[in-house]
A and B are shown apart, each in its own frame.
Chain A
Amino acid sequence: MEHQDTPQIITHIEHNLNHSIFDCKWIPCSAKFVVIGCLPNGSGTIEIFEITSGEVNKIKDIERPNSYKCGTFGASSDIERRLATGDFKGTLEIWDLEKTCQVYITKEHSDIINSIDGMGGNTMNCGAPEIVTGSRDGTVKVWDPRQRGKPVANMQPMKGETKRDCWAVAFGNSFNDAERIVVAGYDNGDLKMFDLRTMSLRWECNLRNGVCYVEFDRKDIPMNKLVATTLEGKFHVFDLRTQNPTKGFAQVLDNSTKSGTVWVSRHLPQNRDIFVTCAGNGQASLWKYEYPEQRFHVDGEGVAVGVPGKLKQLQRMVISSQPINALDWNRDHLGLAVATAYDQYVRVLVTTKLNLH
């Protein structure tokens, strides 16, 4: 039953591209976004669009021999606005979009970079600008744009262990210059949390299904919540404030919707307790995490144990006939988002009444 305050998810603009698209990102401090994809002949494209009064106009088009998979502006300042991209061959590139040239290029991964995340570009006192990439070659590498050629950290399986395909990476817990955490999700359902300060594995668990996407609710605060989406329409929300030595973090599992793979989940930049999940059936769902009365309790042995909260679905809307593989909220305007799907459409979505929650 719809309530009066229920947000509405509406497709504002739909734009058809005649090729596969994998990722989309708003360019910071602008009404423009980039769309990353590949042409049928296998070459990669980076396209820049601008929204003007209900239409999208293509401003720029970059084509390179290798197909791009993912991109981020996270490690770049709002003035430079350099896009870091990962491609199918495992190359990391940083683009100066104004001059249409790479300012950084390195190929340390031997296979496709599935996921990329950036951090520290536009935040003060939250650490160095860094990029993390997860690849099919089983490694997670952390890069500093100031250091050329070599990663500043490299997480790979021990010799003899089978290399799992890393599908998702994300930064978090970067509340000062020293602390920083990388989480990585693998195709076998492993979820690993690496502490970059101590250079150690902080925590790991298995979610039984391949982890498609991970994201902290905020990157630049002491880690609070983590959403990990998996195959078969499930996603987990972890409360990261309390880590129990034996039980780990408290979590909520949602598998109510039989929607297929949950491809992506993104927190609202303006409200960290609201996030959207995009599923294989083209459905976007808006969720709100509701905290419990007490976020932890002390068990019989005197050790704190986290208490999971509850998930409330605010809205759901099928906006695509094919899986939505990427979505990005606009940092500067509440409720504005851009999403790409396998139906080769890029959509500008608007969500109303988000300010009421």
Chain B
Amino acid sequence: MDKAFEIQKNARDNVKSLQTYLTDLQNWESEMKRKEAALNGNFEQDLPPVRSKTRKERPIQVKKKQPNRISSSDYSSWEKFDVDKACEEVDMAAKGPMSLDSKQSEKEKQDKLREEAQYEKERGNTFVKQEKWDDAISCYNRAIELVKNDAIYYANRGLCYLKKESLHQAEKDCTEALKLDSTYVKALQRRATAREKLGSLRSASADLYEVLKLEPNNVAARKQLETIKARMGTKGSKSKSSPLSTPTLESKSIIPIDSKPKVVEISSVESTPQEKWRTGVGENITVIKTVKKPPHLRSKRALKHITIQEIPLGCTVPKVEAKTIDNLAQGDTNNNSDETKDCALSAKGDNIEINSNEIKSMDKMVPPVNSVQFMNEWKCLKGSVEARSNYLNIIDPTNIPSIFANALESDVLSELLSALYEYKDRYTRGLSLYLQAFTRVKRFSALAMFLADNDKLLVNKMLVHCKTKEGLSDDVINELKNKYEL
């Protein structure tokens, strides 16, 4: 009874477990489908190589398809054969499909150039054997153009020049070769020969000593050296005096030594008057030369205004001026000029101006045409009443109204009056005329109104002077007194 029950229970359990399993399975199915849909992308795996046996095998070489060879007797095919294209193909195969601007191709480019240069050299060498020097030189030229840092090309070209008796060029080429390779015996020997032929025995022997140092058993060099020594013995004094005989270093050329005496000659040549003027030779003047200084070294002081005067050629200029200019120049060139010196200089400058103005002769002054000219001169003459009165003297009083027009100021008028008064006897044209002329200036009545008391006093005194000295009539004096509102 119990057993039957147990079996029944077992069966029921089994069904239950199966049912749960099946529902699980259904869930799993749908989940699997979703998972599978999401399955994409690359599955990267680091796989070991194919089994060892095959690893020993040689890597599979892709057999290149051999292009069909054209048989030598097949002339029609050879006629169609594009040689340029074939050459290009061969070149490309050698070069590979790399881009030209990559670093590797740069090196390849160099190699190619070198190859080409080598080819040119070979051609040059064959020309040398045939003693066609000019052709050989052009070949070496091309080689040097392609590769600039090969000593052999220079030395070979040097030989060609030597054979052509262009000794200077030969020497130059050998020097170039030795710059690149200082132990290049052939170049040394060739240069020695060139120098010997040029007559610079000492430098030639120096080269040969160098050769013997490198190759002690070089018979040719030894022989050459002996002949040179013999020549040096016979005309030793001559060779010493020769400028070419001085031994030169590899890098130095002999040209500067040659040209030195020439320079002296040039300086001794008589210079033209214009050049004299430019350099200031024979004149008692200091020429200010332009000073070129970088901005940070220049003086920080403000530039000083220097009035430039025209001096005709040959005219001597007052010494003082030159001195000051010299001083100024010094001050400019001196970066750290102190305050006191500065002050002295400026004070000096002022003095100079006055002095020079004083000395200015009457004939140099020009009567003004308008108020601007007058005012310029008038300001220049400031401080010297005499000069001003002189200036006034050259002005025709009848022109005064036209000169000033309506630009006469009251302060200028007072200055004019004081100048007139100071040297009232000097005026060749008569003082009264000036006084009358002022009254005819436009808007004089307005100016008269603002005349200061001491100005009026001066006018009064001048009128008295005019009455006594020039015999001016009372009517005119009264009229003037009215005009000056005395």
- A interface residue numbers (CB < 8 A to B): 2, 4, 8, 10, 12, 29-31, 51-54, 77-80, 120, 124, 127-130, 142, 144, 146-147, 150, 152-153, 177-178, 196, 199, 332-333, 335-336, 350, 352-353
Contacts and interface: CB of A to CB of B under 8 A. Distances in A.
13 contacts: A8-B14, A10-B18, A29-B35, A53-B26, A79-B42, A80-B43, A128-B47, A128-B50, A142-B51, A144-B54, A147-B50, A153-B51, A333-B28
B36 A333 contact: no
Contact of B54 (A4, A80, A152, A332): A152
Given A2-B10, A77-B43, A336 B51 contact: no
Contacts of B28: 31, 332-333, 336
Chain B contact patch, size range = 20 to 34
A350 B48 CA distance: 38
Contact of A127 (B13, B48, B53): B48
Interface string B22-51: 100110110011011001111101011111
For B10, B17, B52, the residue with the greatest tally of chain A CB atoms inside 10 Å of its CB is B52
Contacts of B47: 120, 128-129, 146
B21 interface: yes
Given A4-B10, A336-B25, A78 B39 contact: yes
A12 B48 contact: no
B41 A79 contact: yes
Nearest to B3: A1
For B21, B22, B33, B36, the residue with the greatest tally of chain A CB atoms inside 10 Å of its CB is B21
Contacts of B26: 53-54
Contacts of A51: 29
Contacts of B39: 29, 78-79
B321 to A, nearest CB: 103
A64 to B, nearest CB: 25
Contacts, number: 84
A350 B18 contact: yes
Contacts of B43: 77-80
A347 B5 CA distance: 32
Contacts of A120: 47
Interface of B: 10, 13-14, 17-18, 21-22, 25-26, 28-29, 32-33, 35-36, 39-43, 45, 47-54
Contacts of B53: 152-153, 199
Contacts of A153: 51, 53
A79 B29 contact: no
Contacts of B10: 2, 4
A8 B231 CA distance: 126
Nearest to A354: B21
A77 B45 contact: yes
A77 B46 CA distance: 12
Given A79-B42, A350-B18, A144 B51 contact: yes
Nearest to A53: B26
A101 B208 CA distance: 86
A261 B25 CA distance: 32
Contact of A29 (B18, B22, B36): B36
A152 B50 contact: yes
B51 to A, nearest CB: 4
A176 to B, nearest CB: 9
A150 B51 CA distance: 12
Given A31-B32, A352-B14, A12 B25 contact: yes
B56 to A, nearest CB: 12
Contacts of A52: 29
A236 B49 CA distance: 35
A76 to B, nearest CB: 10
Contacts of B54: 144, 147, 150, 152
Contact of B50 (A30, A77, A146, A332): A146
A108 to B, nearest CB: 14
Contact of B32 (A4, A30, A130, A196): A30
Contacts of A333: 25, 28
Given A31-B33, A51-B29, A128-B51, A352 B45 contact: no
A332 B36 CA distance: 12
A104 B202 CA distance: 87
A352 B18 contact: yes
B55 to A, nearest CB: 10
Contacts of B42: 79
A54 B39 CA distance: 24
A32 B42 CA distance: 21
Contacts of A146: 47, 50
Contacts of A178: 48
Contact of A124 (B13, B36, B45, B49): B45
